[in-house]
Chains A and B, each alone.
Chain A
Amino acid sequence: MARKDLLDIASLHREEIEFLLDQSTSFKKLFTHSVKKIPALEGKSVLMLFYEASTRTHSSFEVAAKRLSAEVTNFDVAHSSITKGESVRETIETLQAMRTDYIVVRHSHPGLPGMIARQTTASVINAGDGAHEHPTQALLDAFTIREKFPDPRGIKVLIIGDILHSRVARSTSTLLQKLGVEVAYLGPGSLVPKYVPESIRRFTDYEAAMAWAPDVVYLLRVQLERQDVQFFPSVREYHRVYGITNTRLAEIRDRGLYIMHPGPVNRGVELCDAVMDYERCLITNQVENGISIRMAVLDWLTPGGEFPKQESYVARQRTGSALLIP
Chain B
Amino acid sequence: MLLLQNARIASENSPVLLESDVLIVEGKIQDIGSKLPIPEGARVIDARGRVLLPGMFDAHVHFRAPGFENKETITTGSEAAINGGITGVVMMPNTRPALDSATTVATVLENAKDRSRIPVYTSGCVTKNREGKELAEIEGMRGLGVKMLTDDGDTTNDPAVLLRAMQYATEFGMFFASHCEVPELAGPRALNEGVMSYRLGIKGSPACAEEIIIDRDIRLARAAGAHVHIQHVSSKLGMETIRWWKSRGDVKVTAEVAPHHLLFTDEHIGDYDTNYKMNPPLRTQADCDALLEGLIAGVFDLIATDHAPHTPFEKAQDFISAPNGITGLDTALVSLHHFFVAPGKFGWDLVVKRYSAEPRRLMSLPVPSIAVGQSADCVLFDTEAETTFTREFMKSKSQNTPFIDQTLKGRVDLVILGTEILLEREEL
Contacts and interface: CB of A to CB of B under 8 A. Distances in A.
Interface of A: 10, 84-86, 88-89, 109-112, 114-115, 129-133, 164, 167, 170, 193, 195-197, 310-316, 322-324, 326
Nearest to B404: A314
A240 to B, nearest CB: 27
Contacts of A324: 403, 406-408
B319 A111 contact: yes
B318 A112 contact: yes
A197 B199 CA distance: 8
Contacts, number: 104
Contact of B272 (A10, A88, A111): A111
A315 B200 contact: no
B271 A326 contact: no
Given A196-B198, A324-B407, A111 B318 contact: yes
B276 A89 contact: no
Contacts of A89: 316-317
Contacts of A167: 201
A313 B264 CA distance: 10
Contacts of A88: 317-318, 321
Given A133-B201, A326-B339, 13 more contacts: A109-B319, A111-B272, A111-B318, A115-B272, A115-B317, A195-B193, A197-B198, A310-B270, A310-B272, A312-B268, A313-B273, A316-B270, A322-B407
Contacts of A312: 268-271, 273, 275-276, 402
B268 A129 contact: no
Contacts of B199: 10, 170, 197
A323 B388 CA distance: 10
B276 to A, nearest CB: 7
A129 B194 contact: no
A110 B321 contact: no
Chain B interface residue number, banded? 35 or more
A109 B318 contact: yes
A210 B66 CA distance: 62
A88 B126 CA distance: 37
Contacts of A133: 201
A111 B271 contact: yes
A114 B271 contact: yes
Contacts of A110: 200-202, 272, 318-320
Interface in B406-428: 406-409
11 contacts: A85-B321, A86-B321, A88-B321, A110-B318, A111-B318, A112-B320, A114-B272, A312-B271, A313-B267, A314-B268, A322-B386
B407 A323 contact: yes
Given A110-B319, A326-B339, A129 B198 contact: no
B58 to A, nearest CB: 22
Contacts of A114: 271-272
A86 B195 CA distance: 28
Contacts of B407: 322-324
Contacts of B269: 312-313
A226 to B, nearest CB: 10
Contacts of A315: 270
Nearest to B197: A195
Residue among A10, A86, A316 with max Cβ neighbours from chain B (10 Å): A86
